[in-house]
Every structure is written in C-alpha cells, then in structure tokens.
Amino acid sequence: MTSAPVVLLHTDAPDAARAIVAAEHPDLTIRCCDSYEGLPATLAELRPEVCYSVRFSGTAEFPAVALIGSAGLRWLSIGGSGIDHLPRWDPARLTVTNAAGVAAGMMAEYALGAMLAFSLDLRGFARAQKERRWTDGRVAPIEGRTLLILGLGQTGQAAARRAKAMGMEVLGVRARPGPTENVDEVYGMEALPELWPRADFILVAVPLLPTTRGLVNAAAFAAMKPGAVLIDVSRGFVVDEAALIAALEGGPLKGAALDVFATEPLPESHAFWGMENVIVTPHCSSVYDGWAEKSVRMFAENLARYRQGSALANVVDPARGY
C-alpha cells in the first residue's frame, strides 16, 4: 500500500462523507470544503493529492479551473457521472474518474415512468379529474413498442433492461457499436437518420460532447414517427430546444419528458412550462435518497485501489469526454 495521501472532500454534506471515507481509511488525513467560493483557497493551502468533488450548487460558479490546476493533485474523483463542467486536463498529470452508474437505475426508472405516463395519458386524466369530468378513457400499452436509446452507457443499458422486461423492442446507438445485452440492434451514431422513423420512444442518454451537441435537431425531429415521445436525461444542448418546441407544437412529437435544459434553472418565461404535452423536471432524474452516500462509497472503494496501486474504476478519457 502506498503512503497515506491527503484527501479533500468537496461536498455540501461533509460530515457524512468524512464518516464514510474515514471508516474505510482511518489512517488518512481527510479535509473537507463545503462551498464553491472556498475551494480555491482550500486547494492552495492543503495541496491534496486526492480530491472528491460534487456539483451541489449548479454549474455556473463551479471553480473548475482551480480544481483542475491544483498543484499536487494527482486524482480527481467526480461524484456524479457528467464531467462537462471541467476544462480539458492533462491525463499524464491528473487522473479523473466519475461515478458512472451511481444513478443509472434511477434514471432508467425515470425513463420508464415517462413512457408509461404518456402511453397511459396520466396527465390527461389528471386534468379531467381536476375538472371533475368523466371521459371516454383510453390507455395504450408500451409492450411491442420500440425504444431508441441514444447512448448505451450504464444508464442506457439499465433502461434497456427495463424496456425488455416490458416487452419492448430496443434499438441503441453508441460511439463504439457492438453486441449489448437487452438491446436488439446496436448501431453507430451515423445510423440515426434510418432509426428516427422506427422509434415510438427516444431516450437521450449521451454525454455532452462536441459530437453530441445539437445531436437531436430539426432534421431529426422531421424524420421521427408521428406520435413519438422524447425523453431527455442527458445534458442541455444535446437537444435543440427551439427545434423541439416546433416539433411539439406542430410537428410529429406527441410529447416530451425533459430533465435537462440549456439554461438551468429553467427561466419562468420559457415555453416548456406552459406546454400541455411536456413534463418538466428540475434535473432530478439522478437524485434519490441515498445517491450521495452511494457515490462516496464508490469513491472509498476506488481509493483503496488507488492506495494499492491498482487500476482505478471509471477513469475518464479527456479526449472522449467519458
């Protein structure tokens, strides 16, 4: 085992995080920082070798440059799956890992819930109930329908498992296509023009990269099947919001469930708030009771690998962005 490194925990729940890490690594010097504004000074003072960091107040003020440029930092463990808030780093100097999979199951359940909400017309029934109006109710199955998953990482694969359990056909695209469990057909991104018309539901679960920015655009919506539903749990800017609004207002889409947006919090004036066929959630598809604890435990397990000189789990390639 290597010498005990100084570890910095950057989180808004420092006491709980410290207790988890200290229980697994009682010999370590563990320090905490629970703010964005205090992180640069804390990094300069402590010069930690290892830092675990979570975005807990959004992205706008996150001190990413100070974190990536911290002298002496050898390993940065991001507490979530996304790393699009970080500038490019030198992998020869710094290893970055994420917590991919920490919320994969929950995000997959969000997607399943969104598909059921639209197929069962739950929002329509809720409106009728509020008006005390008995309707000629009609529901539809998702069994036999086709789900197209953009991004077959851990979230995409978790969604595929649930979709197959519901009797759905599952199509998927990924950067490096290959046989994937619970996915009937796997393609590269270049196949999307032929796949849009086949999908009843489209789940967007790719990271935000130069190659995925604007991936779901006006041309994509024009090619989609009438009555299709879009579910977005990726990052803002993967879906072209102006094109999405047009597709929802007069285009082919039946509806959309949106958990991520180009601007967060979503401005009060945004059109999405008033659209009957849109479900708006506040970037919470990955937030559930116990996720923070699970993320820290994943870090503590990875820290044992680091101290033993073993390969770390969930290492992020800065060139690929995941």
Amino acid making up residue 213: R
Q: Which of 264, 270, 293, 307 is catalytic?
A: 264
Strand partners, 258: 232, 280
Please check whether residue 27 is in contact with residue 306, taking contact to mean a CB–CB distance below 8 angstroms: no
3-state secondary structure of 62: coil
Whether residue 283 lies in the annotated active site: yes
Phi, psi of 298 (to 5 degrees): -60, -40
Q: Which of 25, 123, 283, 307 is catalytic?
A: 283
Helices then strands, each counted (H, E), the chain: 10, 12
CA distances from 272 to 225, 276, 278 (A): 21, 9, 7
Q: Which of 10, 145, 235, 297 is catalytic?
A: 235
Amino acid making up residue 9: L
3-state secondary structure of 244: helix
Please return the burial class of 320, using the count of CB atoms within 10 Å of its CB with bins 0-12, 13-18 and 19+. Answer: exposed
Please return the burial class of 1, using the count of CB atoms within 10 Å of its CB with bins 0-12, 13-18 and 19+. Answer: exposed
Whether residue 85 lies in the annotated active site: no
Whether residue 264 lies in the annotated active site: yes
In angstroms, the CA 132 to CA 152 distance is 43
List, by residue number, the catalytic residues.
Answer: 235, 264, 283
